[in-house]
């Protein structure tokens, strides 16, 4: 019997090529999209799960409370780790580390730029699972040691054994003490080398103070420790050790760091966001529904073609169960073929998708038993969901009716089909609206007036106090250079903050948190910022023992100063006065509102040279900048980068999401159109006789086209009416994540409405025109 079912299914598949193709292509794209998005989701969810003791590793976070704000802070004081380990017996290891951006390493002959470094405590490699391949099993015990990843070691030393070899990091000589396995792509911690953290503490003693939050602290507990209990114990630990501190401590599971750290201050870069998991999960589900709907609506629309077979099978002794089994089997066959096609599609599209999402996803990395079971489970579920309604509908036919050739009524299953098409298009329209709004938001973020000019600015990560003024002079000699300055942090992402600000009139119990950046003279001018009042650092006129401060408008407003310029201000005991008030500018991404900011100009604490250039031959100017600064930095390879590129990287997550959304929305619409095309073909065919009669009675071609199109257009209009409020609600919620966002323009809805209607009409027009042009005599004969 099974053979018989298979034969029928296969022959139907071949005979109805067009229908089969529509079904298989639609389903394959749907399944393919789901696989791609699932790969992405699984990868995101797998972050940091390779650490053997991952369930016992926790990040120590601070909750800081101020008079008018509060924040979650990822960095902690330097002494915290050791103090916690000593105080709480539940802790097995406590380690500190700090991440550094791109550095260059040098062997005897060559310089290797672009290495990411990490300073860490010796227990770092005991806590985290980064297995040592070669060398000292405790490789961070010597201060001049360096641990390289396998790739870094190979890049620098080739296939030679690198243990014991020396290399230069800046002017320091380091000895390779161990080579560890490469950091897996799903690690939140990204690095090419590790140095003992003492190197860092030696150069910046303030890192050893309780009042300085600059270092990440992680702990590993012993087995069986009650984390709620430990959380309660550590809550006031900073306050106990640092009088006047207002931070509470709490633990975050390592496995939650990647996806559940949205909005944390001074956090790692490249964080994920659990909300995106939900959004992509929904998109994947939407697309799967849209493609399954094609299958259901096309199968039910074709029921008349199968009615006689069903009737005859019943007459010959088939029970309803047999028939349901048969039609479900056909559904499974279709899904199975679609799955094979989907896997081929995914393999083809994956390189492009990986580029979109900056990942290295591959099907083979998921070819384990669990993934295969998941895929099989999905096939079974999809085959069942797509096949069960058609199976019930087809098996319900009464043989008496169908064998007599009586009309089954063109409405059989029709209402359900209408609901499906409306559902399918509603989901597609939601995707269209979301994509357009998100795109608009991105455009808005990238074009919003930020309070400074990000164009025509080049920067390099180099600063040397001794030679800075000479460098500046040299650079300014070039006609392409407009101005030169130096900064600690570039002004698009100033994350350092302090609660140490003091001014006359400050309430005793007021805790005031302000962000700060250390900048050189010319900062305001180089970035084309505007002053609300007072002077820039170029114009400041201070006594020798006075520090000058520039605050932003938000800071002044929160401090409640009415005449700020010239009033006394101090931080960390550095007395001085406010020399100017800079107009508010966005020094963080537009996810965040503008907060109080203080600019200081302390010589030495600077890290980047920033140059504004004019637009005549920028590449020549860039080459001049690099050549000039290189002379002062023989140990380092100087490269100037465009600031606006860095700025764009801030919205990488949104860019990625927008790209994914555009890609998958396009596919969803394609699948929906494919379904509508197939459905219209069948429904128009079913109405052949009606069209013939209408023509005989005098209907003209336009009348016929309108008659045939109006059903479909009605469905699309209903789908719009459902989708628009839903999309509005979803996007309204999503936009709230941005402190600065667009207002949803009703024109988006109107345009989507028109576009969806046009798409639907274009999809069905060829069918309707064909039917309208057909000879009525043939149509009537055919019936």
Q: HSE-up of 565 (CA within 13 Å, CB side)?
A: 13
Return the number of other C-beta atoms located less than 10 Å from residue 343's C-beta.
Answer: 16
Nearer to another protein, 318 or 426 (CB): 318
Nearer to another protein, 319 or 732 (CB): 319
> Do 485 and 459 meet the contact criterion of CB atoms below 8 Å apart?
no
Among 52, 278, 285, 312, binds another protein (CB under 8 A): 312
Per CB under 8 A, does 461 bind another protein?
Answer: no
Which phi and psi angles does 302 have, rounded to 5°? -90, 10
Q: Looking only at residues 596 through 625 of this chain, which bind another protein when binding is defined by CB under 8 A?
A: none
Nearer to another protein, 401 or 659 (CB): 401
Nearer to another protein, 230 or 307 (CB): 307
Query: Interior CA angle at 53 toward 219 and 357, to 5°?
Result: 95
Least separation in angstroms between CB 777 and another protein: 22
Among 111, 205, 269, 319, binds another protein (CB under 8 A): 319
Among 233, 239, 322, 506, binds another protein (CB under 8 A): 322
Nearer to another protein, 181 or 783 (CB): 783
Q: How far apart are CA 601 and CA 18, in angstroms?
A: 72
Least separation in angstroms between CB 317 and another protein: 3
Q: How far apart are CA 763 and CA 173, in angstroms?
A: 69
Per CB under 8 A, does 782 bind another protein?
Answer: no
3-state secondary structure of 239: helix
Per CB under 8 A, does 396 bind another protein?
Answer: no
What DSSP state is assigned to residue 362? -
Among 174, 313, 636, 695, binds another protein (CB under 8 A): 313
Nearer to another protein, 71 or 403 (CB): 403
Least separation in angstroms between CB 338 and another protein: 21
Nearer to another protein, 397 or 468 (CB): 397
Nearer to another protein, 321 or 543 (CB): 321
x-or-dash string of contact with another protein, 258-297, rule CB under 8 A? ----------------------------------------
Q: How far apart are CA 430 and CA 13, in angstroms?
A: 33
Choices 161-169, 194-202, 312-320, 743-751; region in contact with another protein by CB under 8 A: 312-320
Among 373, 381, 400, 758, binds another protein (CB under 8 A): 400
Q: How far apart are CA 520 and CA 604, in angstroms?
A: 9
Q: How far apart are CA 230 and CA 460, in angstroms?
A: 44
Q: Comparing C-alpha atoms, which of 397, 376, 413, 387 is closest to residue 325?
A: 387
Cα distances from 275 to residues 278, 285, 658, in angstroms, run 5, 15, 14
Q: Comparing C-alpha atoms, which of 22, 727, 98 is closest to residue 427?
A: 727
Q: Comparing C-alpha atoms, which of 124, 188, 201, 118 is closest to residue 152?
A: 118
Partners of 103 in beta bridges = 115
Among 51, 119, 302, 314, binds another protein (CB under 8 A): 314
Which phi and psi angles does 204 have, rounded to 5°? -135, 90
Q: Comparing C-alpha atoms, which of 402, 412, 458 is closest to residue 619?
A: 458
Q: What is the largest CA-CA distance in the chain?
A: 107
Residues 6+ positions from 260 with CB-CB distance below 8 Å: 252, 274
3-state secondary structure of 511: coil
3-state secondary structure of 144: coil
Least separation in angstroms between CB 347 and another protein: 33
Least separation in angstroms between CB 774 and another protein: 23
Least separation in angstroms between CB 395 and another protein: 11
x-or-dash string of contact with another protein, 5-24, rule CB under 8 A? --xx--xx--x---------
Q: Following DSSP, what letter does each residue of 448-464 receive, concatenated?
A: S--SS--TTEEEES---
Choices 52-60, 216-224, 399-407, 621-629; region in contact with another protein by CB under 8 A: 399-407
Choices 103-111, 121-129, 315-323, 512-520; region in contact with another protein by CB under 8 A: 315-323
Q: Comparing C-alpha atoms, which of 513, 590, 597, 595 is closest to residue 552?
A: 597
Least separation in angstroms between CB 17 and another protein: 14
Among 21, 232, 315, 372, binds another protein (CB under 8 A): 315
Nearer to another protein, 312 or 758 (CB): 312
Least separation in angstroms between CB 15 and another protein: 7
Least separation in angstroms between CB 446 and another protein: 58
Q: How far apart are CA 323 and CA 44, in angstroms?
A: 43
Nearer to another protein, 340 or 400 (CB): 400
Among 311, 480, 522, 678, binds another protein (CB under 8 A): 311
530, burial (CB in 10 Å: exposed 0-12, middle 13-18, buried 19+): exposed
Q: Comparing C-alpha atoms, which of 385, 293, 291 is closest to residue 338?
A: 291
Per CB under 8 A, does 781 bind another protein?
Answer: no
Nearer to another protein, 320 or 568 (CB): 320
Choices 194-202, 316-324, 612-620, 680-688; region in contact with another protein by CB under 8 A: 316-324
The footprint of another protein on this chain (CB under 8 A) covers a number of residues equal to 26
Among 109, 223, 316, 615, binds another protein (CB under 8 A): 316
734, burial (CB in 10 Å: exposed 0-12, middle 13-18, buried 19+): middle
Where does 16-105 have alpha helices with state H? 17-45, 80-87
Nearer to another protein, 96 or 412 (CB): 412
Cα distances from 355 to residues 352, 358, 654, in angstroms, run 5, 5, 15
Return the number of other C-beta atoms located less than 10 Å from residue 4's C-beta.
Answer: 10
Nearer to another protein, 397 or 452 (CB): 397
Nearer to another protein, 332 or 516 (CB): 332
Choices 264-272, 309-317, 682-690, 739-747; region in contact with another protein by CB under 8 A: 309-317
654, burial (CB in 10 Å: exposed 0-12, middle 13-18, buried 19+): buried
Least separation in angstroms between CB 330 and another protein: 11
Nearer to another protein, 119 or 306 (CB): 306
Least separation in angstroms between CB 412 and another protein: 15
Nearer to another protein, 308 or 646 (CB): 308
Choices 217-225, 350-358, 387-395, 398-406; region in contact with another protein by CB under 8 A: 398-406
Sheet of 641-642: strand order equals 481-487, 608-613, 457-460, 641-642
Nearer to another protein, 406 or 443 (CB): 406
Nearer to another protein, 187 or 395 (CB): 395
3-state secondary structure of 91: strand
Per CB under 8 A, does 320 bind another protein?
Answer: yes
Q: HSE-up of 253 (CA within 13 Å, CB side)?
A: 15
Least separation in angstroms between CB 303 and another protein: 15
> Do 334 and 27 meet the contact criterion of CB atoms below 8 Å apart?
yes
Per CB under 8 A, does 4 bind another protein?
Answer: yes
What DSSP state is assigned to residue 222? P
Q: Looking only at residues 401 through 430 of this chain, which bind another protein when binding is defined by CB under 8 A?
A: 403-405
Among 233, 239, 398, 641, binds another protein (CB under 8 A): 398
Least separation in angstroms between CB 321 and another protein: 9
Per CB under 8 A, does 309 bind another protein?
Answer: yes
Interface with another protein by CB under 8 A: which residues?
A: 1, 4, 7-8, 11-12, 15, 308-309, 311-320, 322, 398-400, 403-405
């Amino acid at each position: 019997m099974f053979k018989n079912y298979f034969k029928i299914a296969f022959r139907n598949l071949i005979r109805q090529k067009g229908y089969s193709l529509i079904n298989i292509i639609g389903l394959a794209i749907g399944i393919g999209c789901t696989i791609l998005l699932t790969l992405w989701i699984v990868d995101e969810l797998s972050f940091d799960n390779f650490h053997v003791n991952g369930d016992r590793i926790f990040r120590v976070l601070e909750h800081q409370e101020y008079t008018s704000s509060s924040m979650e802070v990822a960095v902690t004081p330097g002494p915290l780790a050791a103090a916690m380990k000593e105080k709480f017996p539940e802790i097995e290891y406590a380690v500190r580390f700090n991440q550094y951006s791109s550095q260059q390493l040098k062997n005897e002959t060559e310089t290797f730029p672009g290495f990411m470094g990490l300073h860490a405590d010796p227990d770092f490699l005991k806590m985290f699972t980064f297995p040592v391949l070669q060398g000292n099993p405790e490789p961070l015990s010597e201060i001049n040691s360096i641990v390289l990843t396998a790739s870094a070691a190979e890049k620098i030393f080739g296939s030679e054994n690198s243990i014991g070899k020396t290399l230069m990091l800046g002017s320091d000589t380091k000895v390779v003490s161990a080579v560890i396995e490469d950091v897996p792509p799903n690690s939140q911690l990204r690095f090419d080398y590790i140095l003992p953290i003492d190197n860092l503490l030696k150069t910046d003693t303030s890192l050893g103070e309780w009042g300085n939050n600059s270092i990440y602290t992680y702990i590993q507990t012993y087995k069986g420790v009650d984390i709620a209990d430990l959380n309660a114990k550590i809550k006031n630990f900073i306050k106990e050790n640092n009088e006047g501190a207002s931070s509470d401590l709490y633990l975050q599971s390592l496995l939650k760091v990647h996806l559940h750290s949205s909005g944390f201050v001074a956090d790692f870069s490249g964080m994920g966001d659990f909300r995106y998991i939900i959004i992509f999960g929904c998109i994947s589900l939407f697309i799967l529904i849209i493609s399954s709907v094609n299958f259901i609506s096309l199968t039910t629309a074709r029921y008349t073609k199968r009615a006689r077979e069903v009737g005859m099978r019943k007459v010959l002794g088939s029970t309803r169960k047999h028939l349901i089994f048969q039609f479900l089997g056909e559904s499974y066959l279709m899904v199975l073929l679609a799955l094979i096609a989907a896997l081929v599609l995914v393999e083809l599209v994956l390189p492009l998708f990986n580029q979109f999402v900056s990942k290295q996803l591959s099907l083979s990395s998921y070819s384990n038993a669990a993934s295969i079971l998941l895929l099989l489970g999905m096939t079974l579920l999809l085959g069942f969901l797509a096949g069960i309604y058609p199976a019930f509908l087809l098996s319900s036919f009464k043989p008496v009716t169908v064998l007599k050739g009586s009309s089954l009524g063109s409405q059989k299953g029709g209402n359900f089909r209408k609901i499906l098409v409306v559902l399918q298009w509603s989901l597609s329209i939601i995707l269209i609206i979301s994509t357009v709004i998100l795109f608009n938001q991105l455009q808005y973020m990238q074009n919003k007036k930020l309070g400074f000019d990000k164009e025509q600015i080049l920067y390099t990560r180099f600063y040397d106090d001794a030679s800075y003024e000479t460098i500046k002079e040299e650079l300014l000699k070039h006609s392409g250079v407009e101005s030169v300055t130096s900064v600690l942090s570039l002004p698009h992402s100033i994350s350092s903050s302090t609660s140490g600000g003091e001014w006359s009139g400050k309430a005793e119990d007021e805790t005031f948190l302000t962000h700060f950046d250390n900048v050189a003279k010319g900062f305001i001018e180089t970035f084309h910022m505007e002053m609300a009042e007072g002077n820039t650092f170029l114009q400041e006129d201070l006594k020798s023992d006075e520090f000058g401060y520039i605050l932003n408008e938000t800071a002044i407003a929160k401090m409640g100063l009415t005449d700020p310029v010239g009033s006394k201000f101090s931080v960390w005991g550095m007395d001085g006065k406010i020399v100017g008030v800079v107009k508010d500018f966005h020094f963080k991404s537009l996810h965040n509102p503008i907060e109080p900011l203080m600019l200081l100009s302390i010589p030495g604490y600077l890290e980047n040279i920033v140059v504004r250039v004019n637009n005549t031959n920028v590449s020549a100017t860039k080459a001049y900048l690099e050549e000039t600064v290189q002379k002062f930095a023989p140990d380092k390879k100087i490269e100037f980068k465009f600031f606006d590129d860095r700025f764009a990287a801030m919205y990488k997550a949104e860019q990625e999401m927008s790209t994914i959304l555009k890609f998958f929305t396009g596919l969803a619409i394609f699948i929906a159109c494919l379904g509508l095309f197939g459905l219209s073909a069948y429904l128009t065919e079913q109405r052949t006789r009606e069209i013939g009669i209408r023509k005989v009675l005098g209907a003209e071609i336009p009348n016929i086209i309108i008659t045939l199109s109006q059903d479909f257009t009605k469905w699309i209009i209903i789908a719009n009416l459902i989708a628009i409020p839903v999309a509005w609600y979803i996007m309204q919620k999503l936009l709230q994540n941005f402190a600065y966002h667009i207002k949803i323009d009703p024109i988006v809805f109107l345009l989507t409405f028109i576009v969806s209607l046009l798409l639907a009409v274009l999809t069905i027009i060829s069918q309707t025109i064909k039917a309208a042009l057909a000879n009525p005599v043939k149509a009537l004969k055919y019936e």
